[in-house]
Amino acid sequence: MQFAVDMEYVAVNPASRFKRLKEGDGHRPWEEFEIDQFRSHWAIGTKERTAFELLLNTGQRSGDVRTMTRNHIRSNIVSVIQSKTGKRLDIPVANRLKDTLDAWLPNTTSMNLVPSPMGMQMDATAFSKFMRKAYRGAGLPEDFTSHGGRYAAATRLKELGLSWEEIADIVGHETVSMVQKYTRQRRNAKMAIDKINRADQVGQVTNFYPSSD
């Protein structure tokens, strides 16, 4: 098409500014051992730990977490209006999050729960860089993202017995759809290995590799 423009066959190149299609599975849920790894590295009372626990225990997007202030917490409830959907949520403060906030808030005079070094609200880029540095500091892999905290929250809620409808009221239907696929894959994989183990115990699994003799 660019050749056609150069040769004046056409006036414009309609393919000059197309966007790449999304590739891969995108974000993934945090694994429990990764959550433990982050907590072992960043102690309660640090800003990194506070941001992490807010992401995990509210199940909200990083854009909503970084704008949270002290005024969003009343009577042990986190009240937030999601920036993407405009939906208001009232989320009870989990014990782990309460312990984290109780240790962190006396260390800062800012109204923001996760403030910038100047005590102001972080913008999206600054928050992303801050969390990426925190994840690297804890030795977590590159595909460990803040958005994965939403998926981890939804996965935990499902494993605790909540319905998909109840979970969607907190994290949204799009997140629930992704977590449904994730939990189904993990459940199917576990069932497959359990069957192999049971078959192996009764001698039904043969050696698929030929002997070297």
CATH of the domain at 112: 1.10.443.10
> Does residue 167 contact residue 154 with C-beta atoms inside 8 Å?
yes
Residues 79 and 165 in one domain: no
User: Residue 155: its pLDDT value, please?
Assistant: 82
Counting the structural domains of the chain, the total is: 2
User: Residue 182: its pLDDT value, please?
Assistant: 64
What confidence tens digit (pLDDT) does each residue in 154-199 have? 888 877 787 888 788 777 777 777 777 666 666 676 677 778 788 8
> Does residue 91 contact residue 58 with C-beta atoms inside 8 Å?
yes
Question: Beta strand pairing status for 77-81 and 88-92?
Answer: antiparallel
Q: Do the domain assignments include residue 204?
A: no
Residues 66 and 132 in one domain: yes
Residues 138 and 152 in one domain: no
Residues 122 and 161 in one domain: no
Residues 176 and 112 in one domain: no
**Mean pLDDT, 10 residues at a time, over the chain (213 residues)?**
83 74 66 95 97 94 94 92 86 92 95 95 95 97 92 82 79 74 66 79 61 55
For residue 75, the SS3 value is: coil
Provide φ and ψ at 71, rounded to 5°.
-70, -15
Residues 160 and 136 in one domain: no
Residues 151 and 138 in one domain: no
Q: Tally Cβ neighbours within 10 Å of residue 156.
A: 19
Provide φ and ψ at 73, rounded to 5°.
-115, 115
Residues 71 and 114 in one domain: yes
Q: Is the entire prediction scored with pTM above 0.85?
A: no
Q: Do the domain assignments include residue 13?
A: no
Cα-based distances in Å from 67 to 30, 120, 137, 151: 22, 10, 23, 20
Over its C-alpha atoms, the chain yields an Rg (Å, rounded) of 23
User: Which domain range does residue 169 map to?
Assistant: 147-183
Q: Do the domain assignments include residue 24?
A: no
Residues 61 and 115 in one domain: yes
Residues 126 and 69 in one domain: yes
User: Residue 206: its pLDDT value, please?
Assistant: 53
Residues 154 and 92 in one domain: no
